[in-house]
């Protein structure tokens, strides 16, 4: 398709951008950020991932796209390492199933870390539950190998795909991300609070800290905190912004 060839061209010619969204702890201290890709299309303007990630997945362009995201993220980590107020921040990147299973993934990651000089312990890979759903020995071996480099793992969209429960204890996860669909119903829906409590308890049982995504209000933050959630991400604390506009001070702390 035309959009597909435009995307291939756009990746090669530097039309991709990364926006960064703040993550904070219960005391309002900054923990890090999630990197979210955008495409600065020459005619259509700034496109959100929903407009091109599915196409990238189908076409295989997710491989060069993912490599660019990883390079740019590591470059940013290296820049932050030289800035006193930024150097403790972690940076999370989204990795899709197809990227994670690609033969060159671990080699590319290792080489990118090396070439950028980024501290691997500041990098976090966000995996979605579909990777765990079909988790075979290759996935577990790959996760262990990457963990060995110092890179951490976060489970994205936690709670949506409950069938991954049997595999959870086999994953060396540093973080579980409560899906936005639970958070957005907090305050209006009593069941949502019960579900959030259950997800936090599950994390505690596994010894894995939980972060809530999509936090948009003080009410939501208060309910999440009372439910035992220790970290937050969402418009209430900061919208995704380019690196030069990114501030480690939350909008509401």
**Residue whose CB is less far from Mn ion, 6 or 36:** 36
Helix (H, G, I), strand (E, B) or coil at 132: helix
Region binding ligand G by CB under 6 A among candidate stretches 83-91, 159-167, 201-209, 232-240: 232-240
Q: With binding defined as CB under 5 A, does residue 126 bind Mn ion?
A: yes
Q: With binding defined as CB under 6 A, does residue 49 bind ligand G?
A: yes
Region binding Na ion by CB under 5 A among candidate stretches 12-20, 88-96, 114-122, 150-158: 150-158
Q: With binding defined as CB under 5 A, does residue 67 bind Mn ion?
A: no
In angstroms, the CA 230 to CA 209 distance is: 7
- Half-sphere exposure of residue 177: CA atoms within 13 angstroms, side-chain side: 25
In angstroms, the CA 95 to CA 183 distance is: 22
Residue of 7, 22, 33, 53 that binds ligand G (CB under 6 A): 53
DSSP state of 251: S
Helix (H, G, I), strand (E, B) or coil at 153: strand
Residue of 129, 157, 210, 211 that binds Na ion (CB under 5 A): 157
**Residue whose CB is less far from ligand G, 89 or 183:** 183
Residue ranges in 86-125 that form contacts with Na ion under rule CB under 5 A = none
Closest CA to 86 of 109, 118, 112, 113: 118
Burial class (CB within 10 angstroms; exposed 0-12, middle 13-18, buried 19+) of 182: buried
Q: Do residues 247 and 236 touch, judged by C-beta distance below 8 A?
A: no
**Residue whose CB is less far from ligand G, 62 or 89:** 62
Choose the contact partner of 234 out of ligand G, Na ion, Mn ion, none; CB within 5 to 8 A by kind: ligand G
Q: Using CA of residue 155, residue 66, residue 22, residue 215, what is the dihedral sign?
A: negative
Minimum Å gap between C-beta 166 and ligand G is 23
Helix (H, G, I), strand (E, B) or coil at 34: strand
Residue of 120, 159, 209, 234 that binds ligand G (CB under 6 A): 234
70 contacts: CB under 8 Å, gap ≥ 6: 93, 108, 109, 112
CA–centroid distance for 161 within its chain: 17
Minimum Å gap between C-beta 53 and ligand G is 5
Reading the block at residue 69, the tokens are 């995201």
Choose the contact partner of 36 out of Na ion, Mn ion, ligand G, none; CB within 5 to 8 A by kind: ligand G
Choose the contact partner of 49 out of Na ion, Mn ion, ligand G, none; CB within 5 to 8 A by kind: ligand G
Residue ranges in 67-96 that form contacts with ligand G under rule CB under 6 A = 69, 94, 96
Residues that bind ligand G (CB under 6 A): 21, 36-37, 48-50, 53, 66, 69, 94, 96, 156, 180, 213-216, 234-235, 240
Contact footprint for Na ion (CB under 5 A): 156-157
Per CB under 5 A, residues contacting Mn ion are: 94, 126, 156
């Amino acid at each position: 398709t035309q959009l597909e060839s435009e995307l291939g061209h756009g990746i090669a010619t530097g039309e991709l951008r990364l926006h960064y969204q703040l993550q904070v702890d219960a005391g309002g201290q900054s923990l890090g950020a999630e990197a979210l890709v955008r495409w600065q299309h020459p005619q259509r303007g700034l496109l959100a991932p929903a407009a091109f990630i599915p196409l990238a997945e189908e076409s295989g362009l997710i491989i060069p796209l993912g490599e660019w995201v990883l390079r740019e993220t590591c470059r940013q980590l290296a820049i932050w390492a030289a800035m006193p107020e930024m150097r403790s921040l972690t940076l999370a990147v989204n990795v899709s199933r197809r990227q994670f299973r690609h033969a060159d993934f671990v080699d590319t990651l290792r080489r990118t870390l090396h070439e950028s000089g980024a501290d691997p312990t500041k990098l976090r890979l966000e995996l979605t539950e579909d990777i765990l759903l079909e988790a075979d020995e290759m996935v577990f071996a790959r996760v262990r190998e990457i963990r060995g480099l110092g890179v951490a793992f976060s489970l994205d969209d936690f709670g949506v795909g409950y069938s991954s429960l049997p595999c959870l204890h086999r994953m060396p996860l540093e973080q579980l991300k409560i899906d936005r669909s639970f958070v957005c119903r907090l305050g209006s829906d009593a069941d949502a609070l019960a579900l959030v409590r259950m997800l936090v308890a599950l994390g505690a049982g596994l010894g894995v800290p939980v972060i809530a995504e999509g936090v948009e209000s003080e009410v939501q933050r208060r309910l999440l905190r009372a439910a035992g959630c220790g970290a937050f991400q969402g418009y209430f604390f900061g919208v995704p912004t380019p690196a030069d506009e990114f501030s480690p001070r939350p909008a509401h702390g």
